[in-house]
Copies of this chain bind each other. A is one copy, B any other.
Amino acid sequence: MKSTEQPVTGAAFALDPQLAHDTLVIGDLPLSRVLLMNDANFPWLIIVPRRAGTAEVFDLTPADQMRLMAEIARVGELLKEVTGCDKINTAAIGNIVPQLHVHIIARSRSDAAWPRPAWGALPACPYDEAARECLLAVLRKKIPG
C-alpha cells in the first residue's frame, strides 16, 4: 500500500462484507475500489473509497473528496459509453451499509423500473456466467485492475 493510500485513522481498509457478498471486483482506481453489482436488472457499479472508518462524503479529506468526484465522473462517463444508457444515477445512501460507497447505475427508458430509482425497485437478478464474464471483461479493460 502506498503512503498516500493510508487512511487517516491508521486502520486498514476492508471492504464491507455485505458489499463483498453482493458484488464482483472490477479493479482499483487511485482512491476507490470499483465493483459490479451482481444484478442483471441494471448495469450497476459501486465505488468504495479505500479509507477505513468513512461513512459520509464529508468524512473524507478535501483532497480525497476531489479524488472521489474525479472517479465518479470518470466511471459514470465510461458506464454511459459502454452501455449506451439514457441516464446515469449516482448516489451515496448508506442507510443499511455504513461504509461510504457510491452507486453509479446505468438507467434506460426501457428498463423495468424506469423512471423510479433502482434501489429496492426490482428483486435482484444475478447475471448468468457468460453475461457476467463478458461485462467484467469490458469494464476491466477500461478500469485499471
List of B residues within 8 angstroms of A107 by Cβ: 95
Copy tally for this chain in the complex stands at 2
Most buried by B among A55, A58, A74: A58
List of B residues within 8 angstroms of A89 by Cβ: 91-95
| CB-based contact A91/B94 at 8 Å | no
The residues in A between 103 and 118 inclusive whose CB is less than 8 angstroms from any CB of B are 107, 114-117
Interface residues on A, range: 20 to 34
Residues of A within 8 A of B (CB): 55-58, 60, 62, 65-66, 68-70, 72-74, 76-77, 80, 87-96, 107, 114-117, 119-120
Q: A57-B72, A70-B62, A76-B56 in contact; A93/B91 too (CB < 8 A)?
A: yes
Bound complex: CA A115 to CA B107 (Å): 23
List of B residues within 8 angstroms of A90 by Cβ: 57, 91-93
